C-alpha cells in the first residue's frame, strides 16, 4: 500500500504541472477560438529567459544575493513574455480577426517555430539550470502507518503546491473579474464583443500575457527539475492530451484532466509496464486523448457543440 501511495502522489504532483500548462491552452482557446500549439514553445522561451537573466543579473547589479537575482530575473522574464504577447497580437492576431480558425491555427504553428529558434538565438542553446531554492531532499510520510513510510519528493511537492495555487488564482481571475468576463464574451463572439465596446486587441494581449505567465511558472518548475533544454517544449506538449481529456473550454477540466493523466501514466508505468515491456508513460496520455476524441470529443467538461440547419 505504501508503494501504491508513493506512485499515486507522484502522479498527482506531475498532474498539477500538466494542469498549469494546460490552463494556458484553455485560456487562449476561450479568448480566440484557436488551439495554441505555441504554448510548449512559450514554456521553453520563458524558461530560457529566466535561466539566463538569473545568470546575468548578479553581474549587472554586482550582488551575490540569489533571492534578489531570481526576483529581478523573474520580473525581466515576465516582461519578455508580455512583450511577446504584444508582438503576437500586433503582428499576427490583429491581422486575422474573424478569419477561419485554420488560419489562426497555422499562425500558432509559425509562432512555435519562431519562438523555438529565436529563444535559442537570444539566450543560447546550451543546457541551463534554474535554481529557485526548491528543496531537493526527499521525505518520508506515514511512517507509523506503513512500514518504511511513504517516500515523497519535497521538490515535487513544492512544485505541485505552487502550481495548484496558481491554477486556483487564474481560475478565479477568469470566472470572477470583469476582465475574465470580457474574455468569455470575446470567446463567444468576436464581432458581438467588439460591438459592445470590448477592445479585442487589449483582451488578446491580456490573455496571451496570462498564458505567458503560466508558461513562465511552468518553465521555472520544469527547468529546476530537468534543466532548461530544447526537450522542455516537448514535455510541455504533454498538456495537449490533458485539454482534450478535460475539454478545450473548461478551466476545471484542465485541472481534473491533468490529475487523471498524471496519476494514470504513473500507475500504468509501474503496474503494467513490467508486463508490457515499459514505455507506457510515454504514450499513455496520447492513447487516452485518442479514445476521448473517438467517443467523447468535447472532453469531460467541454461544451457540446450542436449545429442546427
Question: pLDDT digits over 200-239, tens only?
Answer: 778 878 888 888 888 888 888 888 887 887 777 777 777 8
Grade residue 80 by pLDDT with cuts at 50, 70 and 90. Answer: very high
Q: Are 280 and 269 in contact (CB under 8 A)?
A: yes
* pTM for the whole structure: 0.85
* Domains along the sequence of the chain with CATH: 2-295 (1.10.3470)
Give residue-wise pLDDT tens across range 135-174.
777 777 777 776 766 778 788 888 888 888 887 887 787 7
What lies within 8 Å, CB to CB, of 178 at 6+ separation is none
pLDDT of 48 = 92
One DSSP character per residue, 69-86 reads HHHHHHHHHHHHHHHHHH
| Average pLDDT score over residue span 98-119 | 83
**Residue 306, pLDDT score:** 55
Name the residue with cell 503494467.
272
**pLDDT attached to residue 74:** 93
Amino acid at each position: 500500500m505504501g508503494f501504491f501511495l508513493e506512485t499515486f502522489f507522484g502522479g498527482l504532483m506531475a498532474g498539477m504541472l500538466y494542469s498549469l500548462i494546460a490552463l494556458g491552452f484553455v485560456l487562449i482557446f476561450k479568448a480566440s477560438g484557436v488551439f495554441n500549439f505555441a504554448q510548449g514553445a512559450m514554456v521553453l522561451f520563458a524558461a530560457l529567459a529566466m535561466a539566463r537573466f538569473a545568470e546575468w543579473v548578479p553581474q549587472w547589479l554586482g550582488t551575490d544575493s540569489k533571492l534578489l537575482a531570481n526576483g529581478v530575473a523573474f520580473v525581466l522574464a515576465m516582461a519578455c513574455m508580455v512583450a511577446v504577447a504584444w508582438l503576437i497580437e500586433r503582428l499576427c492576431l490583429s491581422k486575422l480577426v474573424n478569419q477561419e480558425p485554420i488560419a489562426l491555427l497555422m499562425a500558432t504553428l509559425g509562432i512555435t517555430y519562431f519562438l523555438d529558434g529565436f529563444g535559442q538565438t537570444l539566450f543560447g542553446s546550451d543546457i541551463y539550470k534554474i535554481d529557485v531554492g526548491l528543496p531537493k531532499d526527499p521525505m518520508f510520510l506515514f511512517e507509523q502507518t506503513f512500514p518504511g513510510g511513504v517516500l515523497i519528493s519535497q521538490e515535487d511537492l513544492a512544485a505541485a503546491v505552487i502550481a495548484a495555487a496558481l491554477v486556483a488564482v487564474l481560475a478565479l481571475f477568469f470566472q470572477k473579474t470583469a476582465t475574465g468576463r470580457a474574455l468569455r464574451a470575446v470567446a463567444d463572439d468576436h464581432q458581438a464583443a467588439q460591438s459592445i465596446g470590448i477592445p479585442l486587441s487589449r483582451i488578446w494581449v491580456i490573455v496571451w500575457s496570462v498564458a505567458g505567465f503560466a508558461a513562465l511558472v511552468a518553465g521555472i518548475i520544469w527547468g529546476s527539475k530537468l534543466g532548461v533544454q530544447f526537450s522542455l517544449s516537448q514535455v510541455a506538449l504533454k498538456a495537449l492530451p490533458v485539454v482534450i481529456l478535460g475539454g478545450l473550454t473548461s478551466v476545471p477540466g484542465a485541472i481534473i484532466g491533468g490529475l487523471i493523466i498524471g496519476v494514470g501514466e504513473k500507475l500504468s508505468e509501474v503496474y503494467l509496464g513490467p508486463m508490457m515491456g515499459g514505455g507506457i508513460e510515454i504514450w499513455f496520455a496520447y492513447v487516452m486523448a485518442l479514445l476521448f476524441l473517438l467517443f467523447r470529443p468535447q472532453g469531460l467538461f467541454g461544451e457540446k457543440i450542436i449545429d442546427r440547419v
